[in-house]
Structure 1
Amino acid sequence: MGELAQRHLTPAANAQVAALLKGEPEPSLAGVASWADTLRKSSPESYKRTERWHYVNFPVGTCAYRPQRDCPDGNCVVGQIERQRAILGDRAQSLSARRDALKFLVHFVGDVHQPLHSSNRKDKGGNDFQISLRTDLQPEAYAQQNYVDGVMGTNLHSVWDYYILASKGVSASLYADRLSALPWPPKLPSKSMNPADWAGESCKLVDSQRLYPKSHKMDSRYLDAQRPLAERQLEIAAKRLADLLNATLTD
């Protein structure tokens, strides 16, 4: 998503991104996209403080966002997209603060378009919906103990976070090439630049697209069936991230 978005930045915004990410191991939007998650290992206290920023939970039966109810003190993905964008656009902020804001934004715009990060079910966005996934895709090192005889013990949230796209078996760069070859811009569900609306759209997909399988046993058929939706959400997220950064970083 980050690489696809960066291909559609204005020259001015691209220059700002390069200046802000100078010195990063991978100084690109794709290179910093997972930073907000890697805090879990590199800075556990920072991750604990920011963990609530990756998602928003709606009450059962509604996808209508109410800030005081759903995002007290701005501690949800909607509130943090707004907050980090404000920091990024404030030239009076320190370089390090604006750099972190950019890295958070890349990640959170992706998160809010992954439907299970904006859910109205009582299972922590699919984290409590356990899945036995038959797959040839090797898990990352930390999850190896859950992979036995070709079956991965995981949950529905992780299926959407990782397995649907990763099981395609292509690199992020090649994925971006393939998606870039499609008509641009992608058709958007709305022209809204309000992250609360983006979260509401994702929430509605949970039921309308039947994201929850009938069985807790899963194989490639589910991954293949849901991949077009996951790719569409990735395209939409890239378009909106590019628009957001162009508006924020272009004078």
Structure 2
Amino acid sequence: MLRIALPAALLALVAASPARAFWEYGHQTVAQIAQANVTPRTRAAIRRILSQQALLETPECPVGTIEDASVWADCVKPLKDAAGKSRFGYAYSWHYQNADVCAPFDLTPACKDGNCVSAQIERDVTLLRDKATPARARVEALVFLIHFVGDLHQPLHAGDRHDKGGNDLKADYGIYAPPRFNLHSIWDGPLAERAISTPPSLVRRYPAAERARIGKGTVTDWSRESWEIAHSAYAAAIGGDGCGPVPARAALDEATIEKMAPVSREEVRRGGIRLAKLLDEALG
């Protein structure tokens, strides 16, 4: 029996939006962890930049708080211009990088022309560091950065099996089996919810030594780490070899959920601490 029951509203949302990115809970928690671990100077800089949210011209998607900012990049996806064209369609591929989990780690094909999540994280940090960056671009870089670090730490945004990050792999989550449930939506939603809501709270100030240990490495290093976890996610879903035959429908039973929830939880924690590091480097 699952410890956390999914409400009907959540099930309806899953059925309607199977490809939604990491949902609000994951992104907001990553942002809250970061806010708790940046320096006071960085925190003030974040508030100052977000106070210029009107420059984005997206009143439907406010960014007055870091929690709001963390989901802005998803909120603006459906927005269209006067001609009916997507205003932010150019950024769709920035939310992920489909690095093949069944081949040696290589970001080159997944990040062609910088159109992937890790390349955009590095770009946003560069824009925020540059004092000459125009104000609007600065606000946009901040809200993209806050969101994309969360995306990178959802493993199925960092690796896949040529199946759109698990979106094409139908899957059951314990006793829940909506027709459009898939491996990606499970890691975006119910697994992340269970992982984050398990006590104690992830949102707290972490010791300096722990922040330094988790924050070590580069964005590429973190990409490799998430890619490796993506392989584990496939292995858990299909029962053994993450590169083995794919069933028509995978199943995460209670034992598998118990095993993978702490993995998801640790990814959220790492994302928050690493976002804090990048924000301090860019703004502090």
**Alignment TM class, shorter chain as reference:** 0.7 to 0.9
Q: Give the 3-state SS of the residue equivalent to 2:142 in structure 1.
A: helix
TM-fit CA distance, 1:207: 2.7
Tell me the residue number matched to 2:41.
12
Q: Structure 1 residue 201: deviation in Å?
A: 0.9
How much has 1:155 moved relative to structure 2? Answer: 0.9
Letter in 1 for 2:257: L
User: Is residue 62 of structure 2 the alignment partner of residue 62 of structure 1?
Assistant: no
Residue 33 in structure 1 maps to residue 60 in structure 2: no
Deviation digits for residues 137-173 of structure 1, max 9, x if unmatched? xxxxxxxxxxxxx642311111111111224695xxx
AA aligned opposite 1:226: M
1:41-65 deviation digits (Å, cap 9, x = unpaired): 2347134211110111224412233
| 1:104-162: CA deviation from partner (whole Å, max 9, x where unpaired) | 00111111111111114221110110123456xxxxxxxxxxxxxx6423111111111
Q: Conserved in 1, the CA contact under 8 Å of 2:37 and 2:205?
A: no
Code of the aligned partner of 2:282 = T
- Unmatched tracts of structure 2, length 5 or more: 1-29, 54-61, 240-248
Instruction: Name the residue aligned to 1:49.
Output: 90
Q: More strand by proportion, 1 or 2?
A: 1
1:160-218 C-alpha deviation (Å, 9 max, x unpaired): 11111224695xxx97x7124696436856711x2122111111112346343336244
State the partner residue of 1:178. 201
Instruction: Give SS of 2:104's match.
Output: coil
Give a deviation string over 1:17-58, Cα, whole Å, max 9, x none.
000111654523222111111122234713421111011122
Amino acid at match of 1:207: H
Name the TM-score, length of structure 2 as normaliser: 0.71
Give 2:189's match in structure 1, choosing from 162, 171, 174: 162
- Cα gap change, 1:243/1:61 in structure 2, threshold over 3 Å: closer, same or farther? same
Residues 86/119 of structure 1: CA separation in 2 closer, same or farther (3 Å cut) = same
Return closer, same or farther for 1:98/1:109 CA change in 2, 3 Å cut-off.
same
Aligned partner letter, 2:261: R
**Are residue 239 (structure 1) and residue 273 (structure 2) matched?**
yes
Which runs of no fewer than 5 residues in structure 1 stay unpaired?
136-149
- For structure 1, which segment, 19-28 or 91-100, has the greater mean C-alpha deviation from structure 2 after superposition? 19-28
Q: How many residues align?
A: 229
Residues 1:198 and 2:222 aligned together? yes
Which residue in 2 is equivalent to 1:152?
178
- 1:160 and 1:168 map into 2 onto residues whose CA distance is 10
What SS does the corresponding residue of 2:37 show, helix, strand or coil?
A: coil
Counterpart-to-counterpart distance in 2, 1:47 and 1:37: 10
Q: Is the 8 Å Cα contact of residues 127 and 155 (structure 1) preserved in structure 2?
A: yes
Secondary structure at 2:147's aligned position in 1? Answer: helix
User: Partner amino acid for 1:231?
Assistant: R
Once residues 283 and 202 of structure 2 are traced to their aligned partners in structure 1, the CA distance between those partners, rounded to angstroms, is 25
TM-score by length of 1: 0.80
Letter matched to residue 2 of structure 1: A
AA matched with 1:53:
W
- Give the direction of change, closer, same or farther, for the CA distance of 1:5–1:160 in structure 2 (3 Å limit): same
Contact (CA 8 Å) 1:61, 1:120: kept in 2 or not? no
Q: CA deviation at 1:6?
A: 0.3
Contact 1:163 1:223 in 2 (8 A): no
CA RMSD across the alignment: 2.7
Residues 64-143 of structure 1 correspond to what in structure 2 (within 5 A)?
Answer: 64-66=106-108, 69-133=109-173
